[in-house]
Structure 1
């Protein structure tokens, strides 16, 4: 197993953004891998094939196959909790497509682990690998260095450090019909050494944000999701209650990276923010930002109605009997009932996730009397993704897991995510 790196042992990889920009190998520097002799141990090789001018570029990338999902599911008797995700997410050889006129070729620097990989590896919602023809190449959140651009690309040049977004198929309003590297047909993800993307799929990384490389890598999927959830929640509430009737709101989110960022937005705008999670490390990290922590384990993760009642009593005590005006619930399952129980009158419950359950139920009469709005969203528009990067560092300051995983340890990273043992957003260093 390859050695992993801690946050305090980054070697030549930078802690500060200024260091990061010095240390990232740029394509216009002599030490760049472009133009260097191809070595047998290179993970990416380019060669002429068939005596034509067609160039075949091979790279290393992680894949999930329907066969691996079926084998691991059978080995564990269909028990999703017992599945070893590290046996499903496997390193593979990937042929990159030829560079088109609007394409950009990236050297991937770092990626974050995303929960949709757990869904893909366990097939707990849909067997996406099977639906996509038997194999997917996952990874829809990455930081990369531009190493080559197509003839019609004007916004990026070799050496730019960029982030990806995963809006795979915008509708006429810009919102995604499909997510890249998940349910978007023929989409290839970015858990790879190199990648080819269209220029509209990347955004220049905010290198002056004050965040380090790992923190920037944590945000391309999570920050746009939180940004849209916050605008939806607050906007819907203001349709019902204007600022002059109530300026400061009580805002609750349950555990997870998107939920943390949602609360950072709330706190930045002067609202009371509360974070309910089982991880003490993550609660402690948010308390440094003035966000009040609530231990979810204290209420047995809402396993019974008595646990939900106890949670409601606790929340009412924290909010002078009012409850939560805005609730962000990315988990569903038993958390959904708990979130509705503590909802204040005229409140808004928003979600873009289903980690614990796809299907929920509620008493429509009760929510109608309370005038509670239950709202669902998915992911941002490309323009919204770019706008969210303006808040990197000033608002979004993610909590990073204390181990930075090596590329070879990516499968273990996802197994530990499956086991829910990580203390922050997990990051994988891809570039050597």
Structure 2
């Protein structure tokens, strides 16, 4: 039967309102799960870049895009299944799962629209209860060795990293074999997905470096087995084409910063430069990223943190045999492969202690947009005994609260 519950809602922008939205906590009545749906009790989520984009309404107002007055975002997290709709197979009540972001797949299962973002009619995990399609559920391994908080982060960032790395590494190996260069140089800048991908590259025997201007984040980077490099030491690597052409002082400052950066890349790679560069920032660093690529280099991305529009000289890229890889989340078989690999090999995020409570979601949103969160910002929705192991028999006092 329908249940009364609550969620943090994002409303479409009205005339005169600020561009950046504020989430609104409201009660609502959730119907029974429909055909092919499951009802879930969200437990933990990870605050993602696309959630920030949704709040800033950049590049789109997702409510307007979806033709809906209000939406519930949150597309990275874990939950417990509490009810099954008709024609749901292979899942059971009480089972733990993570969400997969494919709301509207293409012919081969890759996402055209993302769950709880631009996917119409989809309801995210910033709710005490939610109904979601079975196709968006990936069960967690029974008796998993890892925590629910880790899986909450894994469900989007690590799956995205898996799909992108599969394409980028596969592309490079079409050009240069493992017998020719066993340990490619792989660098990156961005956030948690970049770190996840670099930590995966390290497991593939690559020599990995991640740039960050935050001392605290560099500690996290090192803890994941990735060599951190202070981006601030090079000066401003924020390229602005208009200023570069019109402002002599800026042009000199940028050119010097770029030269210092490229000298460091050359020094650390013994002149090879990078074979794969993972760039989730975009426009402001695109010029420096391209110059840091060696011959047969691969520039790979699945995001656009600070700029979607980029320019390059096609002739230069052709002569250098540079390959540009673009991916968008993953298809289901990649989700399942990533989960299996992560469980077996311990490819998991190392998390800090801070977990934002459900009532602190607006503060988390503010902190995220201000760049004040950890690399992997985690929040809770429904309380759960941290000692509970998914898949284990439940005992009195353990498991999720109701």
TM-score band, normalised by shorter chain: 0.7 to 0.9
Check whether the contact 2:13–2:61 (CA below 8 A) recurs between aligned residues: no
Q: Which runs of 4+ in 1 moved over 4 A?
A: none
Which of 95, 113, 117 matches 1:178?
113
Aligned residue number for residue 280 of structure 1: 215
Q: Deviations over 1:375-412 (max 9, x none)?
A: 21111101111111113252422143542100010111
Instruction: For residue 132 of structure 1, report the CA deviation from its aligned partner.
Output: 2.2
Q: Which secondary structure does the structure 1 equivalent of 2:104 belong to?
A: coil
Residue 202, structure 1, aligned to residue 169, structure 2: no
Aligned residue number for residue 344 of structure 1: 294
Equivalence map 1:224-263=2 (5 Å): 224-263=159-198
Instruction: For residue 121 of structure 1, report the CA deviation from its aligned partner.
Output: 1.2
Residue 428, structure 1, aligned to residue 379, structure 2: yes
Instruction: For residue 221 of structure 1, report the CA deviation from its aligned partner.
Output: 0.8
Instruction: For residue 95 of structure 1, report the CA deviation from its aligned partner.
Output: 3.5
Aligned residue number for residue 317 of structure 1: 267
1:301–1:161 CA distance, 2 compared to 1 (3 A): farther
Aligned residue number for residue 396 of structure 1: 347
Instruction: For residue 286 of structure 1, report the CA deviation from its aligned partner.
Output: 2.7
Check whether the contact 1:111–1:217 (CA below 8 A) recurs between aligned residues: yes
Equivalence map 1:84-163=2 (5 Å): 88-133=22-67, 134-163=69-98
Aligned residue number for residue 392 of structure 2: none
Check whether the contact 1:402–1:423 (CA below 8 A) recurs between aligned residues: no
CA distance in 1, matches of 2:93, 2:354: 30
Q: Deviations over 1:308-331 (max 9, x none)?
A: 221111111111111110111111
Number of residue pairs the alignment of both structures matches? 366
Aligned residue number for residue 419 of structure 1: 370
CA distance in 2, matches of 1:206, 1:263: 24
Which of 337, 344, 365 matches 1:387?
337
CA distance in 2, matches of 1:395, 1:341: 34
Instruction: For residue 69 of structure 1, report the CA deviation from its aligned partner.
Output: 9.2
Q: Which secondary structure does the structure 1 equivalent of 2:2 belong to?
A: strand
Q: Which secondary structure does the structure 1 equivalent of 2:13 belong to?
A: helix
Aligned residue number for residue 270 of structure 1: 205
Q: Which secondary structure does the structure 1 equivalent of 2:42 belong to?
A: strand
CA distance in 2, matches of 1:70, 1:274: 45
1:323–1:208 CA distance, 2 compared to 1 (3 A): farther
Q: Deviations over 1:154-185 (max 9, x none)?
A: 31211111111111111111101110111111
Check whether the contact 2:184–2:207 (CA below 8 A) recurs between aligned residues: yes
Q: Which secondary structure does the structure 2 equivalent of 1:259 belong to?
A: helix
Check whether the contact 1:345–1:371 (CA below 8 A) recurs between aligned residues: yes
Q: Deviations over 1:203-230 (max 9, x none)?
A: 1123544322211111111111100110
Aligned residue number for residue 4 of structure 1: none
Q: Which secondary structure does the structure 1 equivalent of 2:103 belong to?
A: coil
Instruction: For residue 371 of structure 1, report the CA deviation from its aligned partner.
Output: 1.2
Instruction: For residue 102 of structure 1, report the CA deviation from its aligned partner.
Output: 2.4
Aligned residue number for residue 11 of structure 2: 65
1:386–1:299 CA distance, 2 compared to 1 (3 A): same
Q: Deviations over 1:330-354 (max 9, x none)?
A: 1112122221121111010111111
Instruction: For residue 101 of structure 1, report the CA deviation from its aligned partner.
Output: 4.0
Q: Which secondary structure does the structure 1 equivalent of 2:276 belong to?
A: strand
CA distance in 2, matches of 1:350, 1:122: 25
Residue 307, structure 1, aligned to residue 257, structure 2: yes
Q: Which secondary structure does the structure 2 equivalent of 1:178 belong to?
A: strand
Q: Which runs of 5+ in 2 are unaligned?
A: 239-253, 384-402
Q: Which secondary structure does the structure 2 equivalent of 1:262 belong to?
A: helix
Q: Which moved more, 1:279-288 or 1:417-426?
A: 279-288
Instruction: For residue 245 of structure 1, report the CA deviation from its aligned partner.
Output: 1.9
Q: Which moved more, 1:173-182 or 1:241-250?
A: 241-250
Aligned residue number for residue 315 of structure 2: 365
RMSD of equivalent CA atoms: 1.9
Aligned residue number for residue 393 of structure 2: none
CA distance in 2, matches of 1:411, 1:276: 29
Q: Which runs of 5+ in 1 are unaligned?
A: 1-54, 74-82
Check whether the contact 1:209–1:392 (CA below 8 A) recurs between aligned residues: no
CA distance in 1, matches of 2:213, 2:82: 42
CA distance in 2, matches of 1:344, 1:302: 19
Check whether the contact 1:345–1:372 (CA below 8 A) recurs between aligned residues: yes
1:112–1:289 CA distance, 2 compared to 1 (3 A): closer
Q: Which moved more, 1:96-105 or 1:245-254?
A: 96-105
Q: Which secondary structure does the structure 1 equivalent of 2:356 belong to?
A: strand
